[in-house]
Amino acid sequence: MKVAFQGERGAYSEAAAIAFFGDGIEPVTCPTFDAVFDAVDCGECERGIVPVENSLAGSIHRNYDLLQRHTLSIVGEHIFRVRHCLIAHPGATLTGIRKIISHPQALAQCEGYVDRLGLEREPWYDTAGAVKSLLEEARHDHAAIASRRAAEVYEMQILASGIEDVAANYTRFLALAREPQAPMGASAKTSIAFTLPQGGTTPGSLFRAIGVFAMRDINLTKIESRPTPAETFNYIFYLDFEGSQDEPRCARALDHLREMAPDVRVFGSYQADDTL
């Protein structure tokens, strides 16, 4: 099965894809998140995987916008523990390193460690791409911050592991497909988006909208708003709730929501990851 992900080989997204789908997949690199959605949309890949939320950095808004733009379905989620490693050429020593390169977010998450080393830092477009550049440009006095898998893919040396400043660093990934899957049971989760008239300026409109879930004892696990590109200061509300869209009480809640929301989009029901 071909699975599209954003980044170079060895990226955290590739590691998450293998952890979720298994070792038998064929990972397909994509330069952008847009390209991941397009690869699944056009049938080039059977599945895609994208990050939507990090426990430290928050939501990745671009992928929420792409969910709204495309007609793909969410068919799974994976909570991935991010462990940063300091990676350099085989034979390199920490005392010989003068610069560390990585994605700005990875550099920020390892800021304390880098500060203690007193080394120069340089932002890079991708964590795995930083390791790839060490190999291609023979930068023996440079090190990169990336995943253990990136070191394995490019046959580089890990100088230190677990260098992130906060150990509880998790990223939530969503698995995408062209066709929906609807699991049932206590561990099912559903993701939707909806809008309200005039951006929800009617007093209590948002309260009434989410109340359709509360009155049926349906637990909400996330709610977030994003501006709509079509209307100034109008908002799309992204919401996750426990349960499958095919369960009677969840189906009734969605029907009730449609009575007050002009647009309701169900992205999919899927098995929730109970890692945390």
Distance separating alpha carbons of residues 18 and 34, to the nearest angstrom: 21
pLDDT digits (tens, 9 = 90+) for 197-250: 864 557 788 999 999 999 999 999 999 999 887 777 788 999 999 999 999 999
Is 250 a domain residue?
yes
Strands (E), the chain: 2-6, 26-30, 47-54, 58-59, 73-81, 85-88, 99-102, 120-123, 142-146, 157-161, 170-177, 188-195, 220-227, 235-242, 263-271
The reply to whether 173 belongs to the active site is yes
Overall number of domains in the chain: 3
Three-state secondary structure call for residue 240: strand
Which pLDDT does position 201 carry in this prediction? 57
Same domain, 29 and 151: no
Is 244 a domain residue?
yes
User: Is the Cα dihedral 130, 58, 55, 41 positive or negative?
Assistant: negative
The reply to whether 71 belongs to the active site is no
Residue 89 DSSP code: -
Tell me the average pLDDT across 18-35.
97
User: Of residues 173, 213, 241, 267, which has the active-site annotation?
Assistant: 173
pLDDT digits (tens, 9 = 90+) for 37-58: 999 999 999 999 999 999 988 9
Domain CATH code at residue 263 = 3.30.70.260
Q: Which of 142, 177, 212 is the last residue of a domain?
A: 177
- Does the pLDDT of residue 20 top 90, yes or no? yes
Three-state secondary structure call for residue 35: helix
Is 276 a domain residue?
no
Tell me the average pLDDT across 48-71.
94
User: Of residues 29, 127, 171, 195, which has the active-site annotation?
Assistant: 171
Tell me the average pLDDT across 90-109.
95
Cβ distance 48 to 72 under 8 Å? Answer: yes
Three-point CA angle 38, 265, 42, nearest 5°: 15
- Per the structure, the complete domain to which residue 62 belongs is given by 2-81+169-177
Distance separating alpha carbons of residues 12 and 50, to the nearest angstrom: 10
Cβ distance 149 to 15 under 8 Å? Answer: yes
Is 89 a domain residue?
yes
- For 51, how many CA atoms within 13 A lie in the half-sphere containing its CB? 22
Number of other residues whose CB lies within 10 A of the CB of residue 193: 20
